[in-house]
Structure 1
Amino acid sequence: MVRRIAPILLTLVVVALGVTALAARPQTPPSEKSADYVVVVGVAGLRWDDVDPQRTPTLWRLARDGSIGSLSVRSAQRPTCPVDGWLTLGAGSFAAWTGSRTDGQCPPVDVTVEQPDGIGANLPDQENVVLHNQNRLSWGTVPGALSESVRCSVAVGPGAAVAAARPFGRVDRYEPDLPADPAELLGSCVLSLVDAGTVEGEDPVARASAARAADAQLARVLAGRPPRSLVIVAGVSDTERPSRLHVAIADGPGWEDGWLTSPSTGRRGYLQLVDLAPTALAALGRPMPDRPFIGRPAESVGGRPADLSAAIAEPADADREAAAQREVAGGFFVVLAAVQVVLAVAVLPLLRRARRHAGPYGPKPVPRRVVATVELLLVAAALAVPAALLAEAAPWWRYAHPAASFVGLTAALLAAATLLVRLAPGYGTTLGPLGAVAGLTALAVGLDVVTGSRLQLNGVIGYSALEGGRYAGLGTVGLGVFVAAALLSAGWLAQRVPRGWRPTVMVLVGGVAVVVVGSPYLGADSIGAIALTAGVSVAAAISAGGWLTLTRLAWAAMAGLAVTVGFAVVDLGRSPSDRGSLGRFLAALGDGTGGLTVQRSSASSYETLVNSPLTVLALAGALLVWFALLQPWGGLMRLFGIYPAIRAAMAGTAVAVVIGGVLGAAALDVAGAAAAVVVPMAALSALRVLDHSADRTRPSVDRPSDGGRGGEAPADTEPAGSADTTNDEAGTPGGAVPPDGDGGAGAKDAVGPDPGAAPEAGRGHGRVVRSSAEVATG
C-alpha cells in the first residue's frame, strides 16, 4: 500500500513546490501621479558612446541629475527604423510602418504631414498603417494608443507626429520645428513629443556633429519645460543593421540619480521602447488603455555609481557586449554541433567493439589509450556549454579581437573543468564522470541564476538585450542545460541510496530545481517550471524500477496540468499589468485575441527550428540514442537495467525538454541544449558498462534468502590487473541486473535480459569476480 501511495504523495509535493514557486511574485506598487507634464525627446540612433561632457553637455547634465538606462528598441520589424520606433513609442506595443525594405536596411523617412488649420496636423497614411498593424502583423497593435489616452498632445517634427497621431490620423498640436522659445508650446498639453533628429552611421565626425545638434535642441526643451514636468530622452530606434542598445534618460520629481528599470525587463538599468508610453501615462496619473500595453511603467532604482563617467560606462559596455555576443554566439553553436556530431560518429565503432570477450577468440579490443582519449573528449563536449557560460565572467568583448578572446578563455576553462572531472574521486567508475559533469553543470548554471543571471545577460550562452525577448532569469539554452544537469544529478544521487528512497531523492532535488527555474526572483521561467514538474514526476515514478507506462505518464501529465491550472488561477487573479505570460495568454483567449499569440509562437518556433544549430544537436543526439545506444550492442539498455535511477533521469529530461520547447515556442533549442550534456554522458557510460558486460558476480554462501534485497557477503579478492574494472556494473549471467536492488525485483519487468549478452556459463572464466555487497555499493 505504501508503494502504491508513494507516487501520488510525491507528485503532490512536486505540484505544491511548482505552484508555490510560480505564485510568489514581487508586488508592484500602484503607480502614483508624479508629474503634471511629460515631455519625450526622441533622437533616433543615439547611443551612450555619443554622450560626452564636451560634445553633449546638456545630455551629460541631464544624465547626472536624472536616472539612466539602456533602451532596447524592439518593434514589429527588424531593424527598428526611425519611423517604426516612433510608431511603437506612440502605440505602447510592437508596431511597424508600412512599406518594404531592401536587405533589411532602413529606407529614407517619408512621412506626409498635412497642416490644414495651422494648429494641428493630419497623417493621411495613418489609416493604412492601422490596418497594416491590425490585420497583417501578429501583435494586434493600435497605433496612437498613447495620444488616445490623453486629452491633448503636442508633436514637434515628423517623427513625433507619427507617435502622436491618433488612430484616425489627427495630431492635436503640431510644429515642424522646435521654436526658439518652446515654453508656451510645451505647456499647452500634458504630453509633448519632440523629434530632435537622427544620429546615424559609424563615422565618428558625423555622429559627433549630429549628437551636438540634438543636444542643442534638448537644451531649448529644458529651458522651456513646464514646471513639475518629467523629461524623457530616448534613442527611439536603430538606423541600420545591426541593432544596438540606445540612450534612455528620465529627469523629474522622483527620478533623481538612479537606474531606470521596468517590470517588463526585470533587470536594473534596462527598459524597452514599449515601456515609454505606459511610463508617461503612469507619471501623469492617467489610466491605461482598454487593450493593455505590452510595456510596463518604468521606475528609478538606486545603486548607481556616484561618478557619472563610471555610471555611463556600464550601459556603453553593455552595448559593446551585446554586439560582440551577436557575432560570436552563432559560430560557437555551429562548432559545438559539428564537434558533437563528429564525436557521435567516432563513438560508434567503439560501441561495437566495447564488449569484452572472455574466451581466447574474438575481435581485438580497442586500445585502452584510445578509449580513454575518447572518454575525455566526451567529458569535454558535455562541459562546453558551462565553460562558455563561465567565460562571461571575464570582459572578453573589450579586447581588440573579441571572438579570439572568447575562444581562448572558453578553451582554458574547458580544459580546467575536464581535468577536474578526470581527477575527481570515482572517475574510474561507470557513473563517476556522469555525476561529476552533471554536478558541475548544475552548479555553474544554478549559481548564475541565484546571483542574478549576470552571466547569461548578453552572453553567448544566454540571451541578448538587443533581441528584446528576455532580460533576466534562465534563457533557452540555460533552461535545457540546467534541466538535464539537475535531473542527472538527482539520478546519480538516487542511485546511491536504497531503492525505496530513490523517488524521494528525485523529488527533493527536482523540487529545488523547479523552484530555481520558476521563481520570479530566480529563473523567472514559468513554462520551464511546468515542463520540469512533469519531468520530475516521470523520473520519480520510474526511479525505483519499471518503464514509463501509460499510468505513470498520466501522473506526470496530471502534475504538469495541476501546476499550470494552479498558476493560471493565481495569475488571473492579479491586475492586468501584473500578470505573467500565462495569465496574459488566458486573458487574450477570453477577449478573442489569443489567436495572435498562437500565431506568433508558431512563427517563432518555425524560425528557430530551421535556423538554429541546436536543432542539429537535438536531431543528432536522438539519432545516436535511437539507432546506436538503444540497440542491443549499444549498451544503454544494459545501463538502464543496472541503474534505473539514471534511466529515470534521462526519461524525465526528455519529457521536460520536449514540453518546454513546445510550450515555450523554442522548437528543439531546449532539447538541443540538453542533448549537449546528456548524449555525451550516455555514450561514455554505455562504453563503460559494455566494457564490463562479461563480468560475473560470485554467489555468496553467507547470503540470506531475502530475495536478493538485503544480504551482505564478504568481499572477494580482486585479481591483479583489474583496477580499471568497477564494481557497480558487474552483470549477472545473461545480462540480467545484479541482485542488489539496483533493479532486482523491479528490473526483470523493466528491461529483461540483455539480448546482446552471451548466456554461456563459462563466459566469465578469468574475469573479475565481485561480491554481492560490492555490487550493491557501486
Structure 2
Amino acid sequence: MKFRLRPKHRGAGPTLLRTLGFRHRALALGLAVVAGSAATATASTAYAASPADQQVPRANQSLLAKVIVVGVPGLTWYDVKGSPDLTALVNQSHVGSITVKTAGPHTCPVDGWLTISAGTRAWGNVPDQACGDLPGLVDGKVQNWQTYVDRQAEHHTGAPLGRLGESRDRVCGFGPGAAIAVARTDGTVSNWEPTVDLAKLGSTSCRDAVIDAGAMPLREGRDEARKRVAELVKQAKAAAVDSWVLLVGVSQVTANAHQEPLVAMQLPPDNGPRWLTSDSTRRPGLIQLTDVTATVLRGEAKPIDPAGAEKDSPLDGNEIFFTGDQHTDASAVIEDRLDTNERFEHPRPVLIAVAMTLLVAQLAALGWFLITRSRRARSTSEFTLLAQGGFFIAVFLSTATVWWRWPSPGLSLYCVVLAISAAFAGLAKAFLKQYAGLGILLAAYAILLVDGVLGTPLQFGSMFADGPVIGGRFYGFGNSTFATLAVAALVTAGWVAQKLLDRSRMQAALAVLIIGGLAIIVDGKPGWGTDFGGIIALTPAVLLLAWLTWRGSISLKALIGIGIAGVVAVSAVAFLDYLRPADQRSHFGTFVARLLDGDVGDVLIRKLQMSASFFYAPAGWFMLAGVVLAMIATVWPNKVPFESYRRYYVSRPMIRPTLLALSTCGLVGMLLNDAGVALPAIMTGFALPLLVAHLLAIGVETPATVSPESHLVQES
C-alpha cells in the first residue's frame, strides 16, 4: 500500500449563466455571474489536502504485501488502559479511534461485519431487538444471507453486500464474523476457517485476511479476552512479516451499549508511531468502519450490486493512513483517547440543558416585563434574548476552551456555553445599545467564515455537529451551523445594503453579492464547509436579495432566472468535484457519481425519510406551525396582529427584501435538505429572540412574537 501526498487539483473556471428576457439584461447577467462564480469557485480550487493534511504533513508508507484486519466487537480504550498487554502495543502502533455507526439504530456485531463486507453502512440487526448471535455457515453459505440482502433494500441503505469478497481475490477469513465480511454477493464463503490458522495466514494463499477475534465479554472474562486479543495481534504480525495488522473495534456488543468511538491500531509503525486518519474523517486520530474495507481493497474495488452486475457504487470510506507527530508515551495517548470520547459524549445532552435554561430565563424575564413594564424588567428581558443569540456563537467558541479536559466535563461545558452566551449579550448590549443583536450577527458571520477557511476546527465536537458516535459529519458545516451562517450572512448583507442604498442601488446589490457570496464560498468549498445542501438553499436566497436590492421588486421571469442560476451554480460545484479522483471527492462529487450510476435513489429516499422523521413526534408539527407563521409574517405583514411589527416592516426599504430572502432560504432548505423543518426552525430560533430584543431596545411596548428573521436590517 503506497500512501502519497496528493497534488492540487485545479477545476474549471466559473460558470456563466445567462438570464434572458429582462430589462437591463447586462446587469442581470452580472448579478448571476457574480453569484455563480461565488458558488463554482468552491470547486474550482478544490482542496489539495484535508484539514488534517493542512495541520500536519501526511507520511508516506512503503508498499505492504498484506493487510490483516483483526476485528473485536466492543474493544474500548478503557480496555487498553486496563490491560498491560494492549498498553504495550500502543507505542508499537499508529493509533486512533474508530466510529462504528452503521445504517441501523444500533451497531450490533452483525451490522459491523456486514458494513465491512459492503464498504458502505449496512443494516443487519432488527430494530428493538437484542443483537443476537452471528449467523453460521450452512453448506458453505452464510445462513439467512438473503434476509440481510433484503434488509438493505427495505431500509434503502444501498449497501452492496459481498463487495469485499467479490472484489478481492484470495482474501481469507477466520472466525464467524469474518465469514460475513468475506462472503460473496450470494452469501457463499471460500478460503475461510472457523479459527485462526497461523500457517495459512502467513502463506501466499491469503493475499489479505479478516479475523474475528470475538466480542469482548460484558463482565467476567474480560481480562482474559484482552490478553487473547493482544497475543493474537502479535502472532498475526509474526506469521506474516510484511503485513499491516489493523486492530479495530467493529461494533458495540449489545443494542443498548454505551455508544463511543472504539480502538484502532495499526502495526508496524512506519517512521515511528503516529495517528491514524482517512479522507473520510479528515481528523488525525479518527477513522470510520467503512475505511477498513477501502484499505483492504486499496483502490481495486469492483463494486457489485446484489444481482451480480458490476456497478460503480462508491465506497463510503477511504484508505487509512497515518499523519502527525510521533507519540512515545502510551499512557498519554490512552488519556488523549479517553478525553476524545468525553468530547463527543457530552455536547448533545448538554445542548438540551442549555436550551431549556435559556428558554426558562427568557420566559421568566418576559413575563416580569409584561406584568411590571419597568425599565429593569425590560433590560433584563432584552439581555436574556440577546443571550439566546449569543448561544449560537458559544456552541462553537466553547470548543476552543478544551472543556473535555476539565473536571466534570458535562458540567464544564454547560457553564462555559452559558458564560460565553452571557458575555456576548452583555458586551453587545453595553457597546451597541439597540443594535446589540446586529453585533451578535456580525460576530457569528465573521467567526463562521474564519472557522470554515481553517477547516472547521470549532465545529468538531461542538453541540451543532453530529460527532463520531452519531456518525454524522466529521468535517465541514452541518445543518445547524449552516442555519446560523445563513441568518448572519443575509441579515448582514441586508444591513450593509441599507447603508449603501441612498448612494447607489447597484452598489448595494453588489455588496449583497459579495457578503452572501463569501458565505456561499466558505459554506460550499470542499475542504471548508463542504455543505452541498447549504449552498442549494443559500444561493437563490442571496440572488433574490441582490435582485430586490437592485430593482425593488421581482417579476416571474426574474424569479425563474434566479432559480436557474442557483441550480447551475450548485451543479457546477458538484460536477467539478466529481472530476477529481474518487478517493478525493467530497459529498458533492460522490452524489454526482451516484446520480450518473443510477444509484442515487436510495440516497434520496433516506434523506426524505430523515426529513419526514421530525413529524413522528409532536415537536416536529410544532416546529412546522411556527415556521409557517414566521413565513406568513415575512410575506404578508398585514396579517400580523401587532401594529408595532407592521410599522417596523415598512420602516426601512431593506427590511422586506431581507425577510423574503430569509424565508426563501428556509423554505428551500426545508424542502431539499435532509434536516427538513428543523433547518428553518433553527434559523427562527437564532433570529426571533434578537428581533424581540431589538424591538424592546427601541421602546416597542408590545413585543412582536410572530415574525422571526425581520430585525436588524435597518440602519441607525
Answer whether TM exceeds 0.5 for this pair.
yes
Tell me the residue number matched to 2:471. 468
Three-state SS of the structure 1 residue aligned to 2:213 is strand
Q: Per-residue displacement from partner, 1:606-651 (whole Å, max 9, x unpaired)?
A: 1245459687567436536746976363434433423223433332
Do structure 1's residue 274 and structure 2's residue 290 form an aligned pair? yes
Displacement, 1:569?
Answer: 3.3
Report the 3-state secondary structure (helix = DSSP H, G, I; strand = E; otherwise coil) of the residue aligned with 1:667: coil
Could you tell me which residue of structure 2 aligns to residue 598 of structure 1? Answer: 604
Deviations 1:97-154 (A, max 9, x none): 365643xxx433142224x6xxxx4323223322332x32312222221121122222
2:96 — aligned with what?
69
Q: What stretches of structure 1 of length at least 5 have no aligned partner?
A: 351-364, 694-728, 730-741, 744-776
Residue 520 of structure 1 is matched in structure 2 by 526
Q: Which amino acid is the alignment partner of residue 188 of structure 1?
A: S
Q: Please, what is the CA RMSD of the aligned residues?
A: 3.5
3-state SS in 2 of match to 1:39: strand
Partner of 2:385: 378
Read off the aligned partner of 1:263 and give its amino acid letter. Answer: D
Q: 1-side partners of 2:692 and 2:630: how far apart? A: 9
Specify the SS of the correspondent of 1:592: coil
Superposition deviation, residue 330 in structure 1:
3.9
1:24 paired with 2:45, answer yes
Q: 1:211 aligns with which of 186, 206, 226?
A: 226
Q: Could you list the per-position Cα deviations for residues 227-285 of structure 1 after superposition, in whole angstroms to 9, with x for gaps in the alignment?
A: 322211110001233321011122358585222222222222222111111111118x6
Q: Could you tell me which amino acid in structure 1 is paired with residue 324 of structure 2?
A: G
User: 2:499 is paired with a residue of what secondary structure?
Assistant: coil
1:390–1:146 distance in 2 versus 1, CA, 3 Å: same
Asked if 1:643 corresponds to 2:652, the answer is yes
Once the two structures are superposed, the pairs formed by residues 658-677 of structure 1 within 5 Å of their partners are 658-677=667-686
CA distance in 1, matches of 2:216, 2:389: 45
For residues 84-163 of structure 1, the aligned pairs below 5 Å read 84-97=111-124, 99=126, 101-102=128-129, 106-114=130-138, 121-133=140-152, 135-163=153-181
> For 1:573, which of 579, 583, 590 is the aligned residue?
579
Distance 2:321 2:185 in 1: 28
What displacement does 1:182 show?
4.1
Determine which of 66, 69, 73 is the counterpart of 1:40: 69
- For residue 459 of structure 2, what is the amino acid of its counterpart? Q
Q: Which residue identity lines up with residue 667 of structure 1 in the other structure?
A: G
In structure 1, how many angstroms separate the alpha carbons of the residues matched to 2:365 and 2:557?
37
Which residue number corresponds to residue 558 of structure 1? 564
Change in 2 beyond 3 A, CA 1:690/1:18: same
Contact 1:47 1:246 in 2 (8 A): yes
Report the TM-score when normalising by structure 2.
Answer: 0.83
Offset at residue 40 of structure 1 (A): 0.6
Q: Report if the CA contact (8 A) 1:660-1:670 is conserved.
A: yes
Bigger mean CA deviation after superposition, 626-635 or 215-224: 626-635
d(CA) in 2 for partners of 1:497 and 1:569? 36
SS in 2 for 1:516: helix
Q: Between Structure 1 and Structure 2, how many residues are aligned?
A: 663
Offset of 1:73 from its aligned partner?
0.7
Confirm or deny that 1:494 pairs with 2:497. yes
Cα pair distance change 1:47/1:541, threshold 3 Å? same
Output the CA distance in 2 between the equivalents of 1:528 and 1:23. Answer: 18
Give secondary structure in 2 for the equivalent of 1:197: coil
Q: What secondary structure, in the 3-state scheme, does the structure 2 residue paired with 1:635 have?
A: helix
* Paired amino acid for 1:132: R
1:71-96 Cα shifts (integer Å, max 9, x gaps): 11121212100121112112211123
Secondary structure at 1:382 match in 2? helix
Q: Give the whole-Å Cα distance in 2 for the aligned partners of 1:458 and 1:386.
A: 14
Please tell me whether the aligned partners of residues 74 and 251 of structure 2 are also in contact (alpha carbons under 8 angstroms). yes
CA contact (8 A) 1:545 1:644 kept: no
Equivalent residues in 2 for 1:191-590 (5 A)?
191-201=208-218, 207-224=222-239, 226-240=240-254, 241-252=257-268, 257-282=273-298, 290=311, 291-333=313-355, 366-398=373-405, 401-424=408-431, 426-428=432-434, 432-499=435-502, 500=504, 501-543=507-549, 546-547=552-553, 549-590=555-596
Larger gyration radius, structure 1 or structure 2: 1
Identify the match of residue 15 of structure 1 among 26, 33, 36: 36
Shift in Å at residue 158 of structure 1? 0.8
2:428–2:437 CA contact under 8 A, matched in 1 = no
* Residue identity opposite 1:195 in structure 2: D
Alpha-carbon deviation of 1:669?
2.1
Counterparts in 2 of 1:33 and 1:127: CA distance versus 1, 3 Å: farther
Q: For residue 83 of structure 2, what is the aligned residue in structure 1?
A: 55
Q: Distance in 2 between matches of 1:322 and 1:261?
A: 17
Change (3 A) 1:21 1:541: same
Which residue identity lines up with residue 492 of structure 1 in the other structure?
Answer: W
Gaps of 5+ in 2: 1-21, 51-57, 305-310, 703-710
Question: Conserved in 1, the CA contact under 8 Å of 2:46 and 2:527?
Answer: yes
Counterpart of 2:642 (choices 619, 633, 636) is 633
Distance 2:48 2:457 in 1: 23
Verify the 8 A CA contact 1:485 1:677 in the aligned structure 2. no
With structure 1 as the length reference, what TM-score do the two structures score? 0.77
Give the direction of change, closer, same or farther, for the CA distance of 1:156–1:684 in structure 2 (3 Å limit): same
C-alpha displacement of 1:396: 3.6
Counterpart code for 1:415: A
Cα displacement (A) at 1:523: 1.1
d(CA) in 1 for partners of 2:356 and 2:561? 38
